[in-house]
């Protein structure tokens, strides 16, 4: 296995990235460590994407990935982008999984993500150990002229230390995105705690026909930053 070093660059990924209000806000909040607090509506996020060619990454190779988690308060990137805590993370690349585990990312083996787009209908399916556990269906238009440019902040924990990773990202948006279904298919799976409320309440979302981003160095969070985040969440 190749020894990977940060930062790592990914380009030209096909990505569905969005957030929703969970059916059981308390169950979502219980997935956070005590040092962090959820948003008032306990909103959840999910990013599911495919990188089709080895040439599109610096060293990860071609791979697919889905991760989920809970947005947190007090560590916002900007007025519109909160920091996020990963609760679940599946990459088809063993090298990538080992790379991100070093700072506490909860990468699991046996994950596979499939994005299928036909006649304007996008179906994104996450498989864990060969069984489908989450399926998202949306209608999308062609690639538009709008781009999202942002920094994202993901919080992780390894041992007793919290880490903060700032991820620069640029994505070209598809037009006319509309979510029709978000199905959590296995009630026995622990990810079922993040299932959406009924009716489905999407709080934000994008389908990127081409997205580029960087896996950076992760920095230690100070005790002061954690204390401030905890105070903000009360």
pLDDT for 79: 86
Q: Both tokens of residue 232?
A: 């903000």
Exposed/middle/buried for residue 15 (C-beta within 10 Å: 0-12, 13-18, 19+) = buried
Residue 74 belongs to a domain: yes
Residue 2 belongs to a domain: no
Q: List phi, psi (to 5°) of 110.
A: 80, 20
Residue 19 belongs to a domain: yes
83-91 vs 107-108, strand pairing mode: parallel
Residue 149 belongs to a domain: yes
Residue 113 belongs to a domain: yes
- Order of strands across the sheet with 121-128? 111-118, 121-128, 131-139, 178-184
Tell me the pLDDT band of 106, cut-offs 50, 70 and 90.
very high
Range of the domain at 102: 8-232
Structurally, the chain folds into a number of domains equal to: 1
Above 60 in pLDDT, residue 1?
Answer: no
Residue 158 belongs to a domain: yes
pLDDT for 5: 86
Find the DSSP H helices in the chain: 25-29, 94-101, 223-232
C-alpha torsion 87→90→94→96, nearest 10: -70
- Whole-number average pLDDT of the chain: 95
CATH of the domain at 45: 2.40.400.10
pLDDT for 87: 98
Above 90 in pLDDT, residue 3?
Answer: no
Q: What are 166-195's pLDDT values in tens digits?
A: 999 999 999 999 999 999 999 999 999 999
Residue 110 belongs to a domain: yes
Tell me the pLDDT band of 234, cut-offs 50, 70 and 90.
low
Write down the pTM of the prediction. Answer: 0.95
Q: What are 76-104's pLDDT values in tens digits?
A: 998 889 999 999 999 999 999 999 999 99
Residue 187 belongs to a domain: yes
């Amino acid at each position: 296995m190749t020894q990977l070093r940060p930062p790592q660059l990914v380009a030209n990924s096909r990505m569905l990235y969005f957030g929703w209000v969970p059916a059981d806000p308390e169950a979502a909040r219980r997935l956070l460590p005590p040092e962090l607090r959820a948003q008032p509506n306990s909103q959840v996020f999910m990013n599911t994407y495919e990188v089709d060619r080895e040439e599109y990454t610096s060293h990860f190779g071609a791979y697919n990935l889905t991760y989920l988690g809970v947005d947190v308060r007090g560590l916002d990137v900007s007025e519109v982008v909160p920091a996020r805590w990963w609760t679940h993370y599946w990459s088809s690349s063993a090298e990538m999984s080992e790379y991100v585990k070093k700072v506490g990312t909860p990468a699991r083996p046996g994950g596979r993500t499939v994005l299928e787009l036909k006649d304007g209908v996008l179906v994104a399916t996450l498989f864990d150990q060969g069984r489908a556990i989450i399926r998202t269906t949306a209608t999308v238009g062609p690639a538009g002229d709008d781009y999202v440019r942002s920094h994202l902040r993901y919080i992780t924990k390894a041992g007793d230390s919290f880490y903060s990773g700032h991820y620069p990202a640029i994505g070209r948006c598809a037009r006319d995105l509309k979510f029709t279904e978000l199905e959590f298919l296995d009630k026995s799976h622990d990810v079922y705690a993040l299932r959406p409320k009924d009716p489905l309440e999407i709080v934000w979302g994008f389908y990127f026909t081409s997205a580029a981003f960087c896996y950076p160095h992760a920095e230690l969070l100070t005790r002061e930053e954690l204390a401030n985040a905890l105070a903000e969440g009360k």
